[in-house]
Amino acid sequence: MAWSPLQEFVTLEQAKQHLKLSLDVDTEDEDLQIKLFVAHEVVMDYLTQRVSEASDWAATVQAWTADTVPKRVIAAILIQFGELYRQRGDDQDRRYTEELGTLCPDVVKLLYRLRDPAVS
């Protein structure tokens, strides 16, 4: 399903507040915005990866706006954003225990029940 990060559910200001970063400092804003777009894409991909674009679930997700998106989706985007911010790839000592391609367990917990229930 084609989902665009232009459908902004979480603003950069909200994301910076989540990380407890100063809203007045904008030296990292470009990098933070990229991470926020990726967090949106990852979460939306998880929610829609098992459905066709013609499904009712796809239509439901596409119709979400910043005002109608479920709060757990916003929370998942913020958590995923925090993970992308924390794990920037510059920590050579980090031990990867997660299977490749998996999301942060907290994101999965929030979103699992929102995945299309009609897919078996």
In-domain check, residue 119: no
Please tell me the least confidently modeled range out of 11-25, 30-44, 86-100, 101-115.
Answer: 86-100
pTM of the full structure: 0.80
pLDDT at 78 over 80: yes
**Dihedral angle, C-alpha 62, 118, 107, 95, nearest 10 °:** -120
pLDDT above 80 for 26: yes
Whether 33 and 12 have beta carbons less than 8 Å apart is answered as yes
pLDDT in the model for residue 68: 93
How remote is the C-alpha of 77 from its chain's centroid?
A: 3
Residue 47: give the domain boundaries: 12-88+99-114
**Is residue 75 assigned to a domain?**
yes
**In which residue are the tokens 């939306």 written?**
44
Q: Is residue 39 part of a domain?
A: yes
The verdict on residue 54 lying in a domain is yes
Q: Identify whether 31 is part of a domain.
A: yes
To the nearest whole percent, how much of the chain has pLDDT over 90?
37
* Sign of the C-alpha dihedral computed for residues 10, 50, 60 and 71 taken in this order: negative
More confident position, 97 or 83: 83
Q: What percent of the chain has pLDDT over 70?
A: 78
Condensed to tens digits (0 to 9), the pLDDT of residues 111-120 reads 988 876 544 4
52 is a domain residue: yes
- Domains of the chain: total: 1
pLDDT, one tens digit per residue, over 27-54 is: 889 999 999 999 999 999 888 887 777 7
Q: Is residue 93 part of a domain?
A: no
Residue 100 confidence (pLDDT): 52
> pLDDT value at position 120?
45
- Choose the weakest-confidence range: 23-27, 49-53, 63-67: 49-53
| Residue 120 counted as domain residue | no
